[in-house]
């Protein structure tokens, strides 16, 4: 390519002169040939041009040739307006009819050319059909002509440009070409027309057609070193060319409107563009224009190169309401190709049905690895469409190579890339600057590829942001139906308010994320009905050293048929993963772990907070599978409901292979599984802890209705509630180990109520594990098989030497075929072969039906450390309660041991003021706080059992505005208490002294407008007291004086 250099400043606008004089031209004219009238018209246009300095030239229909040799030309040296299309009788310009009177300026001297044959009979053709000289002050108008059969040579370094450019038109000055056709012209560059220099600035083409011309090297229409060039309603059709049908070199301010580039062909293998080609030119506007059916190795529609000007911030290329359809890329890149181009903007553009067999980037290809300005605003695509584009390689719709961009309000539908990036592909090269791709409010539907049906991202340092977008029905044969990232991407990615629906992949149906040392943030998004034949129905993440945040995002009905991760497959080694305020519903995995999430990271951190898991299922870990040596999985304020571990348990979650689990303030409800309907812990050395959590209504078909822990796995349970769970062994909890490497499990400040086991351990089934139970409540638990404990079944086998410490706990009315509260089994095959020691301190065992304790088999040891109370029909623990501080056979006097006063039948196992358990526990074994969180001791010494007798509660005191009265007051022995108002149901009446110590506690029930209760105060010392009535939530108080 011959290069020219242009000073882009100081270009001038030229106005048109007013034309008045008319010169007439008509082939075969027989008059005076003065050009003064139609009768005396010049028969030859060249003569008219030579004799006309100003005004208009009217040319009648016919064929006009510039001369008889190749150097002949229609030479224009003045600012004239030349009009064709006349019949030869008109008196006004608007009377002419160019269609009926074709006016042809023909460069075929011998008249022997054949249309479409650019090789034969060309030696006689003129070099330039029309030549516009330089330094013409006003525009030259050419209107109503066909310019054809000009011929110049192919370009070469030894050939002057005059002989290789502008076969149809050579313009050194401004031209205004209208209603004209350029056809059958041939040359090296600007085969039909060339616009040269700043004196040609302001040239225009209106309603012009460039059809069936051939350019050997540089375009059919060529503009060089000029500016303010406009094309309106101009067509480029059926041209054979290289480097564009229209090309500008070092030019500025180019406008193309309401035009079309159709069926043009770049004939050079490896060539660029048969449509529009810009080289180091600036300020292009293309509007209301179509590029259809063009073909080239690369860029059949548009090629723009800004490599030499971008560093100075020059560029500016706007495409508005432009269509690119059915163009073909023959092994190269991009229907529209931008190389180091600044400030590119598409709006209301459409790329439809473009093909790239063996090539890349069927729609747009942008390369910017040398760009100084790398801002997303540097390349924008808005309100556009990419539909049914197809490539054998990468980037069905768009290919961004080391190029920043912003894509908004745009649709990608039905595009295909056989390798990666059906909709968009982005990549960079080593050493390229960091780039930014922002995609907002876009739709990706029905796109296909092997990887990344919607988006394929392999750009190491490109930050990708998705906002307000939709990925639906995209499909890949391998991974990442919606989006594929990596491997090796190290730039952050953000997904916000985006939906991924009905995408299908072999792995990672929503999107797949292979990154190292980068950040992924997902906010307020939806992953729904995505499916994969492998792992990660919603998303598949594999990263090292990454920071991953997922917040306020919904995952529903996603599925995986591989190893796991119906919603998310997560391999995040040495990464920090946070999932918050999200929802996982009915995600399914068929053969592996983690119906919702599979966390398989090494030395990683997973924190899940304020998130719900509902109705998820997989073979194991219906909700979540947590695996990974050295990793920590933390769950805070989460809800797990109705999840299923279908074949191997862990309905809500499964944990193993060296992971550490920390569960806080979470709810596990109605989950199911073979073992551990809520949580299963497998393998050895898995440290798990549960605090402030509720396990309610979980059902296991084999063991551990709520928790199943098997192996040398230390387990901590603190401040949890286990309610209504079911499992054959361990209705609530199964803790066991099959080796003699005994580990310690801690259970404290927890409630076990109404859990049931068909075999043993209504609340807890224990085997070969050291265990501390402290400050807990066991009530209403049941185990039905012979040899079981309704609350606890303690077992020691092989050579294990097990120690179980039960401290500061309350056992009430648990049911078991052998013992209501706990039973112990040691291996009886050889005396002393296994051992179990149960140490008791500060406990209450209360049963009016079943035994408190029984030996299932063997020779276990039960040892009282003091401060225990036991009451059952057979006094089964009395023989062991031999310390002076023990109280065998005594009634603890609970407030409501049967739950009769509670509308839900829940027993109130707090102590009444008369309880012998008050101040009867040993301080050295007492906890600092009771099960309600009240400090111990309240009185002189701690109380036995889980509850400290105290007035300190979290009840709201309401003003006593006539609600509560007591009379007489002062009172001697008895008084009548009356309570009015909306208080109903079970109530508690307390009488406390001035130190706040509750001395009397009475259960009552209010069923009408007023409660009337006789209060006995005999035995109370004289003095001032507070009388309180509470429903457990609110309290009203009045003063009483005892005489």
> What's the angle, vertex CA 612, arms to CA 609 and CA 617, rounded to 5?
125
> Of 173, 262, 163, whose CA–CA distance to 216 is shortest?
163
CB-based burial of residue 214 (10 Å sphere; 0-12 exposed, 13-18 middle, 19+ buried)? buried
pLDDT at 370: 85
pLDDT in tens, 59-109: 999 999 999 999 999 999 999 999 999 999 999 999 999 999 999 999 999
pLDDT score recorded for residue 2 = 35
**Per-residue pLDDT, 696:** 98
Structure tokens at 379: 């390349």
Q: What is the pLDDT of residue 42?
A: 98
Distinct helix (H) and strand (E) counts, the chain: 1, 115
Angle at 791 between CA 894 and CA 887, to 5 degrees: 45
- For residue 822, the model assigns a pLDDT of 96
Find out whether 14 and 202 touch, Cβ atoms under 8 Å. Answer: yes
The pLDDT assigned to 18 comes to: 39
Paired strand residues for 703:
675
The share of the chain scoring above pLDDT 90, in percent, equals 76
| 3-class secondary structure per residue, 497-554 | CCEEECCEECECCCEEEEEECCEEEEECCEEECCEECCCCCCEEEEEECCEEEEECCE
In this predicted structure, what is the pLDDT of residue 917? Answer: 98
Contact indicator for 408, 381 with CB cutoff of 8 Å: yes
Bigger pLDDT: 591 vs 12: 591
Query: pLDDT averaged over the chain?
Result: 92
Task: Report residue 1038's pLDDT band, with 50, 70 and 90 as the boundaries.
Answer: very high
Choice among 141-155, 242-256, 931-945 with the minimum mean pLDDT: 931-945
Tokens of 382: 């808005």
Using CA atoms, how far apart are residues 464 and 442, in angstroms rounded to an integer? 14
> What are the C-alpha distances in Å from 798 to residues 554, 772, 857?
49, 21, 14
**10 has pLDDT over 50:** no
pLDDT band of residue 951 (cuts 50, 70, 90) is low
**pLDDT of 461:** 83
CA 511 distance to own-chain centroid: 8
* Residues forming beta bridges with residue 628, ordered by sequence position: none
pLDDT in tens, 708-728: 999 888 999 999 999 999 999
Enter the tokens of residue 35. Answer: 């050009």
Q: E-strand spans in 389-491?
A: 390-391, 398-401, 405-408, 411-413, 416-420, 424-427, 435-440, 443-445, 448-451, 455-458, 462-467, 470-472, 475-479, 483-489
pLDDT tens track for 684-695:
889 999 999 999
pLDDT at 995: 65
- Residue 831 is predicted with a pLDDT of 58
Which residues lie below 8 Å from residue 487, measured CB to CB, with a gap of 6+?
A: 458, 514, 515, 516, 542
562-606 residue pLDDT tens: 888 899 999 889 999 999 999 999 999 988 889 999 999 899 999
Q: Kindly report, residue by residue over 280-319, the tens digit of the pLDDT.
A: 999 999 999 999 999 999 999 999 999 999 999 999 999 9
Structure confidence at residue 832 as a pLDDT band (50, 70, 90)? low
Q: What are the DSSP E strand ranges found in 370-433?
A: 379-382, 385-387, 390-391, 398-401, 405-408, 411-413, 416-420, 424-427
| Token output for 662 | 């920390």
pLDDT higher than 70, residue 15: no
pLDDT band at 17 (very low <50, low <70, confident <90, very high): very low
- The reported pLDDT for the residue numbered 546 is 87
604-644: pLDDT as tens digits: 999 999 999 999 999 999 999 999 889 999 999 999 999 99
Confidence at 9, pLDDT banded by 50, 70, 90 = very low
Does 11 have pLDDT greater than 80?
no
In this structure, how many other beta carbons lie within 10 angstroms of the beta carbon of residue 250?
Answer: 22
pLDDT tens profile 126-167: 999 999 999 999 999 999 999 999 998 888 888 888 898 999
Rg (CA), the chain: 45
pLDDT at 436 over 50: yes
Q: What is the pLDDT of residues 755-814, one digit of tens each?
A: 999 999 999 999 999 999 999 999 999 998 876 889 999 999 887 889 999 999 999 999
The C-alpha atoms of residue 450 and residue 461 are separated, in whole angstroms, by 23
> What pLDDT score does 12 carry?
29
Predicted confidence (pLDDT) per residue in 447-505, tens digit: 999 999 999 998 888 899 999 999 999 999 998 899 988 777 788 899 999 999 999 99
Using one digit for the tens of pLDDT, what is the confidence trace for 640-686? Answer: 999 999 998 899 999 999 999 999 999 999 999 999 999 999 888 89
Selection from 82, 187, 185, 77 nearest residue 132 by Cα: 77
User: Can you tell me whether residue 310 is helix, strand or coil?
Assistant: helix
Q: Whole-model pTM?
A: 0.84
């Amino acid at each position: 390519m011959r290069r020219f250099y242009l000073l882009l400043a100081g270009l001038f606008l030229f106005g048109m002169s007013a034309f008045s004089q008319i010169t007439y031209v008509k082939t075969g004219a027989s008059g005076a040939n003065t050009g003064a009238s139609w009768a005396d018209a010049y028969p030859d246009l060249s003569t008219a041009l030579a004799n006309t300095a100003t005004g208009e030239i009217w040319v009648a229909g016919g064929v006009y040739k510039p001369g008889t040799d190749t150097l002949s030309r229609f030479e224009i040296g003045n600012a004239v307006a030349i009009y064709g299309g006349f019949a030869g009788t008109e008196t006004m310009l608007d009377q002419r009819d160019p269609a009926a009177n074709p006016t042809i300026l023909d460069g075929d001297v011998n008249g022997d050319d054949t249309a479409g044959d650019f090789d034969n009979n060309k030696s006689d053709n003129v070099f330039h059909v029309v030549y516009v000289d330089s330094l013409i002050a006003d525009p030259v108008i050419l209107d109503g002509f066909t310019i054809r059969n000009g011929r110049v040579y192919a370009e070469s370094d030894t050939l002057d440009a005059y002989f290789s450019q502008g076969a149809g038109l050579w313009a050194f000055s401004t031209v205004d070409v209208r209603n004209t056709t350029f056809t059958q012209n041939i040359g090296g560059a600007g085969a039909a027309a060339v616009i040269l220099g700043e004196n040609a600035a302001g040239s225009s083409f209106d309603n012009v057609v460039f059809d069936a011309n051939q350019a050997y090297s540089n375009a059919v229409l060529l503009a060089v070193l000029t500016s303010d060039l406009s094309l309106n309603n101009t067509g480029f059709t059926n041209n054979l060319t290289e480097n564009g049908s229209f090309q500008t070199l070092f030019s500025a301010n180019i406008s193309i409107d309401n035009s079309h580039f159709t069926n043009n062909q770049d004939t050079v293998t490896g060539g660029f563009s048969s449509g529009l080609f810009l080289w180091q030119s600036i300020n292009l506007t293309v509007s209301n224009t179509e590029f259809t059916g063009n073909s080239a190795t690369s860029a059949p529609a548009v090629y723009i190169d800004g490599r030499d000007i971008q560093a100075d911030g020059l560029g500016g290329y706007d495409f508005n309401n432009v269509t690119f359809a059915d163009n073909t890329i023959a092994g190269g890149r991009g229907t529209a190709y931008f190389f180091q181009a600044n400030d590119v903007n598409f709006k209301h553009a459409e790329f439809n049905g473009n093909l790239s067999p063996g090539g890349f980037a069927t729609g747009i290809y942008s390369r910017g690895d040398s760009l100084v300005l790398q801002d997303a605003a540097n390349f924008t695509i808005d309100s556009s469409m990419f539909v049914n584009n197809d490539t054998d390689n990468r980037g069905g719709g768009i290919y961004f190579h080391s190029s920043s961009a912003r894509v908004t309000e745009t649709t990608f539908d039905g595009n295909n890339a056989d390798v990666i990036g059906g909709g968009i592909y982005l990549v960079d090269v080593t050493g390229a600057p960091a780039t930014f791709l922002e995609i907002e409010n876009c739709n990706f539907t029905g796109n296909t590829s092997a990887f990344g049906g919607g988006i394929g991202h392999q750009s190491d340092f490109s930050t990708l942001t998705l906002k307000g977008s939709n990925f639906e029905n995209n499909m890949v044969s391998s991974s990442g139906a919606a989006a594929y990232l990596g491997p090796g991407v190290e730039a952050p990615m953000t997904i916000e308010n985006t939906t991924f629906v009905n995408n299908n992949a072999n792995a990672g149906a929503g999107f797949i994320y292979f990154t190292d040392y980068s950040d992924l943030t997902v906010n307020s998004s939806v992953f729904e009905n995505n499916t994969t034949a492998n792992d990660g129905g919603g998303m598949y993440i594999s990263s090292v050293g990454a920071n991953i945040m997922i917040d306020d995002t919904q995952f529903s009905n996603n599925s995986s048929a591989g190893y796991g991760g119906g919603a998310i497959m997560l391999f995040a080694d040495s990464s920090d993963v946070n999932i918050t305020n999200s929802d996982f519903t009915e995600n399914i995995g068929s053969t592996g772990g983690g119906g919702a999430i599979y966390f398989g990271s090494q030395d990683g951190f997973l924190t899940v907070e304020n998130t719900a898991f509902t109705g998820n299922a997989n073979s194991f870990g219906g909700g979540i599978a947590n695996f990974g040596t050295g990793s920590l999985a933390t769950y805070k304020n989460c809800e797990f409901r109705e999840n299923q571990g279908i074949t191997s348990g862990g309905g809500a979650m499964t944990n193993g292979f060296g992971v550490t689990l920390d569960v806080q303030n979470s709810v596990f409800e109605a989950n199911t599984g073979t073992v551990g309907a809520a949580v299963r812990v497998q393998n050895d050395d898995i440290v798990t802890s549960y605090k402030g959590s509720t396990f309610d209504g979980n059902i296991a078909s084999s063991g551990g209705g709520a928790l199943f822990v098997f192996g040398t796995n230390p387990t901590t349970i603190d401040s949890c509630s286990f309610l209504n769970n079911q499992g054959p062994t361990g209705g609530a909890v199964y803790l066991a180990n099959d080796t003699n490497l005994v580990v310690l499990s801690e259970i404290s400040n927890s409630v076990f109520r109404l859990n049931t086991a068909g075999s043993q351990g209504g609340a807890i089934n224990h085997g070969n594990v050291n265990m501390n139970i402290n400050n807990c409540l066991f009530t209403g638990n049941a185990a039905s098989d012979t040899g079981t404990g309704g609350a606890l079944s303690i077992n020691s086998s092989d050579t294990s030497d097990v120690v179980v410490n039960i401290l500061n706990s309350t056992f009430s009315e648990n049911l078991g075929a052998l013992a209501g509260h706990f039973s112990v089994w040691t291996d009886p095959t050889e005396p002393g072969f296994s051992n179990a020691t149960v140490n008791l301190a500060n406990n209450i065992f209360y049963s009016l039906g079943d035994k408190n304790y029984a030996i299932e088999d063997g020779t276990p040891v039960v040892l009282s450390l003091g401060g225990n109370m036991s009451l059952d029909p057979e006094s089964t623990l009395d023989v062991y309660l031999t310390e002076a501080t023990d109280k065998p056979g005594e009634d603890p006097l609970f407030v409501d041991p049967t739950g009769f006063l509670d509308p839900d039948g829940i027993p109130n196992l707090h102590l009444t003021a008369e309880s012998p358990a008050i101040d009867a526990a040993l301080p050295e074994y007492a906890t600092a706080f009771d099960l309600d969180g009240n400090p111990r001791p309240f009185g002189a010494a701690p109380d036995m059992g889980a509850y400290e007798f105290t007035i300190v509660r979290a009840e709201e005191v309401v003003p006593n505005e006539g609600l509560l009265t007591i009379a007489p007051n002062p009172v001697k022995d008895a008084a009548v208490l009356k309570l009015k108002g909306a208080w109903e149901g079970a109530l508690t009446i307390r009488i406390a002294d001035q130190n706040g110590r509750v001395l009397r506690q009475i259960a009552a029930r209010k069923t009408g407008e007023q409660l009337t209760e006789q209060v006995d105060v005999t035995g109370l010392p004289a003095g001032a007291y507070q009388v309180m009535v509470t429903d457990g939530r609110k309290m009203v108080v009045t003063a009483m004086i005892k005489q």
